């Protein structure tokens, strides 16, 4: 009886000992293994509505990493990408970021399409002193976050600058004097309303009005009629693909042929299928497109994408290109920073970002892309205006 009571206890402790030993071996072995590669992370939407954005970012990063590794890696080590799905959920994004930093010990990590997720990660990145690089989300506060030591960098558009660029473009292209705003009724629409109003005021333009609509609205004719009666000569559109398509269809029904200049929302979906032929008339901000006259770099990257991903056959498969292009350039800039720092320690790496010299990138030639007062590598002059042609996004001539 006594034996039988004791036996299992012994057996248990022996099993525990074996487990403990195994764990010790594994843990002891882990740092040695980790030294062989430099890990970089990605927290982005890999499932759900925005899964395509996560896929595009992954492709841009992977192609850049292949190039870097083929040239011998960084600091003599290969670069390795570790991805986590945030499901477009800020709480899950923060958990994923913690895991990448604390468990996987990534040198730096990239963010996805959702501004709310990135904004939630920003305080953690600054506190953990690990560089966090936004390659899609455009919310102004992501990089301009007020931290004394800012570890957040971005290679993408910035809402506030997009608003200025849209106004500049409209004034130059359409001689806009009295624009009307068509805004989605959510925080994104709200923040751009502020930006567009400020940018209009700075240009001395008076607004015809600012109208809002919801995601599931069928008919925007009443809103548009108000703007028309108020004398709007151009419309600025802030919305994702479905409501943007409804705006286009409503304009069609009214027979109102007015220039529409849009943020990049419609680029994320089947805009021409949903909005009909008039959707092609909407001009949208992008940071890059693979259509049109490609630079040598553009041709190389496109060819690499086609080889690595057999699913990429037409240009419509690399639409929208912003995720791919931003991620590609950001990865190369990060590699330059690591090489400059000579280490993957956060504070040294952050400092090295400011010391990056010039880099011939996909989107542009970067020269001193970051400084402590400007953590955004792209300025409003780097944005291009595009429109849909069928399923493809091409530059406006």
Partner 1 sequence: MLIVSAIVSGLSLGAMYGLIALGYHVTYAVSNTVNFSQGSSVMLGAVLCYTLWITFGWPVTLAVVVALFLCALFGLVVERFLVRPFAARGSNAWLMATVAGGIILDNAVMFSFGKEPRSLPSVLAQKPVSLFGAGVYPLQLAIPVVGIAVALGLHVLLNRTRAGKRLLAVVQNPSAARLMGIDVKRAIALSFAASAVLAGLAGMLIAPLLSVSSDMGLMFGIKAFAVAILGGIGSASGIMLAGFLYGLAEALITALLGSSYTQILVFSAVIAALALMPNGLFGRAAVKKV
Of positions 32, 71, 216, 367, contacts partner 1 by CB under 8 A: 216
How far separated are the first and last CA of the chain, in Å rounded? 91
Nearer to partner 1, 88 or 156 (CB): 88
82 binds partner 1 (CB under 8 A): no
Q: Which stretch binds partner 1 (CB under 8 A): 19-27, 68-76, 265-273, 306-314?
A: 265-273
Tokens of 283: 């001009």
Name 44's bridge partners.
85
Of positions 58, 191, 223, 344, contacts partner 1 by CB under 8 A: 223
CB 219 within 8 A of CB 252: no
Q: Which stretch binds partner 1 (CB under 8 A): 150-158, 225-233, 281-289, 387-395?
A: 225-233
Nearer to partner 1, 230 or 394 (CB): 230
Of positions 19, 91, 231, 273, contacts partner 1 by CB under 8 A: 273
Nearer to partner 1, 75 or 274 (CB): 274
Helices (H) and strands (E) in the chain, counts: 12, 14
CB 105 within 8 A of CB 39: yes
Residue count (the chain): 397
Q: Which stretch binds partner 1 (CB under 8 A): 20-28, 127-135, 141-149, 214-222?
A: 214-222
User: Rounded to an integer, what distance in angstroms lies between the CA atom of residue 320 and that of residue 262?
Assistant: 15
245 binds partner 1 (CB under 8 A): yes
Short-list 187, 189, 108, CA closest to 155: 108
User: Rounded to an integer, what distance in angstroms lies between the CA atom of residue 97 and that of residue 94?
Assistant: 5
Tokens of 365: 């030639």
242 binds partner 1 (CB under 8 A): yes
269 binds partner 1 (CB under 8 A): yes
Q: Which stretch binds partner 1 (CB under 8 A): 33-41, 118-126, 222-230, 364-372?
A: 222-230
345 binds partner 1 (CB under 8 A): no
Nearer to partner 1, 34 or 221 (CB): 221
User: Rounded to an integer, what distance in angstroms lies between the CA atom of residue 288 and that of residue 108?
Assistant: 24
User: Rounded to an integer, what distance in angstroms lies between the CA atom of residue 326 and that of residue 369?
Assistant: 13
CB 38 within 8 A of CB 80: yes
Residue numbers of the site for partner 1 (CB under 8 A)?
48-49, 51, 185, 209, 211-214, 216, 218-219, 221-223, 225-226, 229, 241-242, 245-246, 249, 252-255, 269-270, 273-274, 276
């Amino acid at each position: 009886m006594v034996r039988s009571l004791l036996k299992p206890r012994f057996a248990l402790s022996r099993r525990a000992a074996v487990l403990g030993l195994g764990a010790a071996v594994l843990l002891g072995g882990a740092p040695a293994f980790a030294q062989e590669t430099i890990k970089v992370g990605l927290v982005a939407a890999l499932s759900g509505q925005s899964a395509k954005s996560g896929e595009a970012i992954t492709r841009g990063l992977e192609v850049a990493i292949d190039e870097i590794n083929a040239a011998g890696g960084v600091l003599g080590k290969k670069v390795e990408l570790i991805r986590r799905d945030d499901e477009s959920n800020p709480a899950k994004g923060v958990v994923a970021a913690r895991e990448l930093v604390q468990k996987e010990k990534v040198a730096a990590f990239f963010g996805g399409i959702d501004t709310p997720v990135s904004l939630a990660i920003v305080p953690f990145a600054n506190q953990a002193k690990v560089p966090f690089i936004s390659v899609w989300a455009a919310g102004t506060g992501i990089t301009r976050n007020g931290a004394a030591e800012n570890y957040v960098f971005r290679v993408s558009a910035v809402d506030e600058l997009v608003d200025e660029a849209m106004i500049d473009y409209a004034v130059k292209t359409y001689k806009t004097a009295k624009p009307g705003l068509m805004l989605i009724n959510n925080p994104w629409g709200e923040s751009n309303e502020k930006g567009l109003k400020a940018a209009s005021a700075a240009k001395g333009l008076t607004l015809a009005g600012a109208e809002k609509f919801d995601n599931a609205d069928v008919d925007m004719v009443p809103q548009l009629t108000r703007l028309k009666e108020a004398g709007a000569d151009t419309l600025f559109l802030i919305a994702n693909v479905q409501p943007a398509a409804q705006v286009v269809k409503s304009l069609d029904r009214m027979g109102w042929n007015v220039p529409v200049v849009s943020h990049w929302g419609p680029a994320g979906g089947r805009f021409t299928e949903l909005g009909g032929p008039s959707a092609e008339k909407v001009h949208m901000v992008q940071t890059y497109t693979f259509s049109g006259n490609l630079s040598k770099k553009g041709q190389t990257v496109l060819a690499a994408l086609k080889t690595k991903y057999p699913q990429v056959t037409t240009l419509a498969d690399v639409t929208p290109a912003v995720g791919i292009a931003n991620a590609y350039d950001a990865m190369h800039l990060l590699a330059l920073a690591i090489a400059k720092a000579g280490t993957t320690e956060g504070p040294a790496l952050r400092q090295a970002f400011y010391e990056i010299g010039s880099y011939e990138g996909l989107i542009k030639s970067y020269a001193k892309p970051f400084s402590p007062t400007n953590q955004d590598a792209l300025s409003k002059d780097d944005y291009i205006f595009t429109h849909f042609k069928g399923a493809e996004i091409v530059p406006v001539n």
